[in-house]
Structure 1
Amino acid sequence: MGRLSASAVKAATRPGRLGDGDGLYLVVKPSGTKSWMVRVQKSGTRRDFGLGSASKVSLAIARERAREIRTWVELGLDPLFERRKAQGIPTFREATAKVLAQHRSTWRNEKHEQQWIRTLEAYAFPHIGNVQVNEITGPMIRNVLAEIWLVKPETARRVRQRIGTVLDWAYASGYRDSEAPMRAISKGLPRQPKKEGHYAAMPFADVPKFIPRLRERESYSRLALEFAILTAARSGEVRHAVFDEFDLEAKLWTIPPERMKANREHVVPLCERAVRIVERCAELRIRDLPLVFPGQRLRKPMSDMTLTKLLREMKETCTVHGFRSAFRDWVSEETSHQGEVAEAALAHAVKDKTEAAYRRGNLLEKRRALMADWADYLRTGK
């Protein structure tokens, strides 16, 4: 028989804990709210488990829940996991929705979330979407990946990472009693073919000859591509640029953190031609449209495929991103500019913590000189 009574629970007002016996406590907070807690100790380890608010959970139910938890501990079971099971274990599809909801505030844009959803809908959900997360095994995951592991290697790696993220959440939330064996799964798959190089790049010596061809006609896509080449910026940074980011008098373009890969503000010095491109887009601007390089739907930025299509129409096999590689190669092979200045111009994160500690400035003036030299090279080929 416990030491507490229903009337004692109702009358308790002094902050502190009132013991009922066998580790069950009524916890009274200074605010006056009351809740139940059970303390369980096994093999020298002590754990406390909340049992709910005393306004909703009666003394009799609290005793029953406390006995249940003590039994689980004695049997070597994890009470948190067992309680999760009692509440209903989500399917992989349901767990994915919860993970997306929790991560949404940390992602830079909606595109990343859509990529998550599309890849899992296409490759994971048909196999394990309706399987409860505690029942998903290594062989199941391997079967999901095996179909695309060699034919779509990059996509397969992303699917593997995203499945692992969902199952890690399930384990941390008590829905699985073990982590997913992702490392073992990868070892059980064949070696993927090595990808030669990174992004197809135009040799830097050919870029000055490409620019006049780009200017033969005028369109938003051609202006955007030339602007990307002049600034060595990423395609997404250019395509989503808005007029408020530019100070044309100071010849600066300030990209906010949420649009940068490293999630840090990036200031880009602009050469004369880059300034002229923004001014030309302002002349073509329709009403109060904020985008510098709008897509076919004026309120939406142009897609990455628009620039790729332009390159293919011009019979070029390189990628937009590859012009950043051309810029970096030119700096290394044709100039005396320091490598750290080029890396800063490309907004690359500094991996070495010691080096990063000594590089707190953004090297703006050095980058201004570098980008002016790059513009001269594109104009003259020298």
Structure 2
Amino acid sequence: MLTPLEVKHAKPGRHADGKGLYLMVRPSGSRSWVLRAQVDGKRQDFGLGSATVVKLAEARTKAAELLVSLKSGEGVAQKDRPARAVIPSFAEAARACHEAIKGGWRNKHHCASWLASLDNHIFPHIGKAQVDQVSSAMVRDALAPIWLAIPETARRILQRVRTVLEYSHIMGWFPHEASLRSVSKGLPRQPVEENHFVAMPYADVPGLVLRLAALPDTAGRDALLFTIYNAVRSGETRLATWPEFDLDAAIWSIPASRMKMRQPHVVPLSAEAVVILRRRWSLRTSDEGLVFSTFGKKPLSDMTMTKVLRDLGLPKITVHGFRSSFTDWAAELTEFPKEVVDKALAHKLVDRVEAAYRRTNFFERRRRLMAAWAGFLVPCEKVLLAA
């Protein structure tokens, strides 16, 4: 039998309490009670509510009462009649699922896009159908229009549909565990993407920087240049706000909440990067707003910087790929140690022991590294490339 402490700290999976009562814990951390029982010779699961609302003792009481009801035949009658009227549509189940699991997500954009992708591509096809009537064939037909057009998005949506059906099963709305394994078998084979982040050879990046410098001053152009100069992720640039910068000290302090590894990251800014910031400062609408934004409130979209590249006739090069260009340049043309380069990229050390003992952030060496990178991109003077 489970204890209240075990319920609170249980890891993802199915945890038996006894007499058919199970605690279901999802990877997101959400947890629900389920009673597994035999009805007319068939195994069925009955949702008893969220474990954050229904405590252990109450769940046991509800499970015992439902078992008695099922054995007497009353539970079957209840299930066959009124329960059907309260089974939600797929869209309603998806929104309930989203509400239950979103608390475990840190990325607000992912939280919004998760439901939006279903709203755009799935709800028009099966959103109104009762969730217990959704079949693999229905999901396949809904995904068919986007399966080859936007393959990565289609795969993510398939996983989200599976999550909704698994949640519905836990809640007692869906009669069996969903696999949807056959969905992809009924669709064309998707092309294999060998490289998600196509990088420009580092030798070609200075030429691109010169072309970018000749373009009109726009938030997208400046954001792309700034991202290249600092070898950061696009999201770190797009969501940067003025309070994060000390222009006099040439330092950018990114809070942990905006970093992929959830660790604060301090970036030493090259003189060229500061020039971009001072230009943006003169255009600001607020001292607290976003740096790379037309009005300082709405961040640039993921595609804004990519569009700048496409307009220059670069159909495959990605913004993220410039981090690889920077890495290759540092390895080929400089003597900076790999750990300094990794720290500049805010990479997490794989070796936990090494990470525990390496407390330095190599800030001064990284300042020289970023100055050398800027000097390579705009070779107006000889730059020392040694550590």
What TM-score do the two structures reach when normalised by structure 2? 0.70
Matches of 2:311 and 2:190 in 1, distance apart?
Answer: 32
Q: Secondary structure at the match of 1:380?
A: coil
Q: CA deviation at 1:90?
A: 1.9
Q: 1:150 aligns with which of 140, 143, 148?
A: 148
Letter in 2 for 1:299: K
Deviation at 1:153, TM superposition (A): 1.3
2:137 maps to amino acid: P
C-alpha displacement at 1:161, in angstroms?
1.5
Matches within 5 A, 1:293-308: 293-295=292-294, 297-308=295-306
CA distance in structure 2 between the aligned counterparts of 1:263 and 1:135, rounded to whole angstroms: 41
The amino acid across from 1:241 in the alignment is: A
Instruction: State which of 308, 311, 320 in structure 2 corresponds to 1:310.
Output: 308
SS in 2 for 1:157: helix
- 1:124-175 CA distance string (max 9 Å, x none): 1133212222332333333333443233211211111111221222223333
Residue 265 of structure 1 is matched in structure 2 by 264
The CA deviation string for residues 63-85 of structure 1, in whole angstroms up to 9 with x for no partner, is 9996653142688x99xx99994
Alignment match, 2:132? 134
SS at match of 1:254: strand
Structure 1 stretches lacking a partner, 5+ long: 1-22, 24-38, 43-48, 52-62
Q: How far apart in 1 are the matches of 2:72 and 2:362?
A: 63
**CA distance in 2: counterparts of 1:311 and 1:67, whole angstroms:** 64
Distance 1:154 1:328 in 2: 26
Distance 2:111 2:37 in 1: 43
> In 2 relative to 1, CA 129–374 (structure 1 residues): closer, same or farther, beyond 3 Å?
same
CA contact under 8 A between 2:131 and 2:165: conserved in structure 1?
yes
* 2:217 equivalent in structure 1: 218
Match of 2:201 in 1: 203
Residues 84 and 174 of structure 1 are in contact (CA less than 8 Å); yes or no, is this contact kept in structure 2?
no
- Of 110-119 and 238-247, deviating more is 110-119
**Structure 1 residues 165 and 261: CA distance shift in structure 2, 3 A:** farther
Alignment of 1:96-135 (within 5 A): 96-135=94-133
Rounded to whole Å, the distance in 1 between the matches of 2:91 and 2:114 is 12
Hey, what's the Cα distance between the residues in 2 that align with 1:191 and 1:142? 13
SS at match of 1:253: strand
Deviation at 1:225, TM superposition (A): 1.7
- Displacement after TM superposition at 1:191 (Å): 3.3
Structure 1 residue identity aligned to 2:124: P
- Code of the residue aligned with 1:235 in structure 2: it is S
Q: How does 1:223-262 map to 2 (within 5 A)?
A: 223-262=222-261
Q: Is the 8 A contact 2:253 2:267 kept in 1?
A: yes
* Secondary structure of the corresponding residue to residue 329 of structure 1: helix
Q: Does 1:88 align with 2:86?
A: yes
Give the Cα–Cα distance (whole angstroms) in 2 for the partners of residues 50 and 149 of structure 1: 36
- The residue that corresponds to 1:34 in the other structure is none
Alignment of 1:1-382 (within 5 A): 68-72=66-70, 85=83, 88-186=86-184, 189-216=187-214, 217-288=216-287, 290-295=289-294, 297-317=295-315, 318-350=317-349, 356-357=355-356, 361-380=360-379
Q: Which shows bigger deviation, 139-148 or 269-278?
A: 139-148
* Counterpart residue number, 2:56: none
Amino acid at match of 2:342: E
C-alpha distance in 1 between matches for 2:166 and 2:138:
16
Rounded Cα–Cα distance in structure 2 between residues aligned with 1:336 and 1:85: 70
| Cα contact 2:140–2:183 (8 A) shared by 1 | yes
Cα deviation code 1:9-63 (max 9, x no counterpart): xxxxxxxxxxxxxx9xxxxxxxxxxxxxxx9999xxxxxx999xxxxxxxxxxx9
Distance in 1, matches of 2:157 and 2:257, equals: 25
Long gaps (5+) in structure 2: 1-18, 20-34, 39-46, 50-60
Structure-1 residue corresponding to 2:28 = none
Q: How many residues align?
A: 325
Q: Work out the percentage of aligned pairs sharing the same amino acid.
A: 44
1:9 is matched with none
Deviations along 1:320-357, one digit per CA (max 9) or x if unpaired, are 22222211222233333333433332234455656655
- Counterpart of 1:228 in structure 2: which amino acid? T
Conserved? CA contact 1:108–1:259, under 8 Å:
no
What corresponds to 2:57 in structure 1? none
Paired AA for residue 260 in structure 1? M
Q: Do the aligned residues in 1 keep the contact of 2:132 with 2:175 (CA within 8 Å)?
A: yes
Return the alpha-carbon distance in structure 2 between the equivalents of residues 94 and 358 of structure 1.
Answer: 50
Given the superposition, is the C-alpha separation of residues 74 and 210 from structure 1 closer, same or farther in structure 2, using an over 3 Å criterion? same
CA contact (8 A) 1:224 1:293 kept: yes
For residues 299 and 334 of structure 2, what CA distance do their matches in structure 1 show? 35
Cα separation, 1, equivalents of 2:71 and 2:265: 53
Q: Which amino acid is the alignment partner of residue 280 of structure 1? A: R
Equivalent-residue separation in structure 2 for 1:310 and 1:199 (angstroms): 16
Once the 2 structures are TM-superposed, how far is the Cα of residue 86 of structure 1 from its aligned partner? Answer: 7.0
Quote the Cα distance in structure 1 between the aligned partners of 2:244 and 2:296. 18
Distance 1:352 1:208 in 2: 34
Q: Distance in 2 between matches of 1:189 and 1:221?
A: 37
SS class of match (1:224): helix
C-alpha separation in 1, matches of 2:362 and 2:373:
16
Matched residue of 2:122: which SS?
helix
TM-score, with structure 1 as normaliser: 0.71
| Alignment deviations for residues 251-291 of structure 1 (CA, whole Å, 9 cap, x no partner) | 32122233233333222221222123222322332354522
CA distance in 1, matches of 2:36, 2:177: 25
CA shift for structure 1 position 301: 2.4
Q: Deviation at 1:238?
A: 0.9
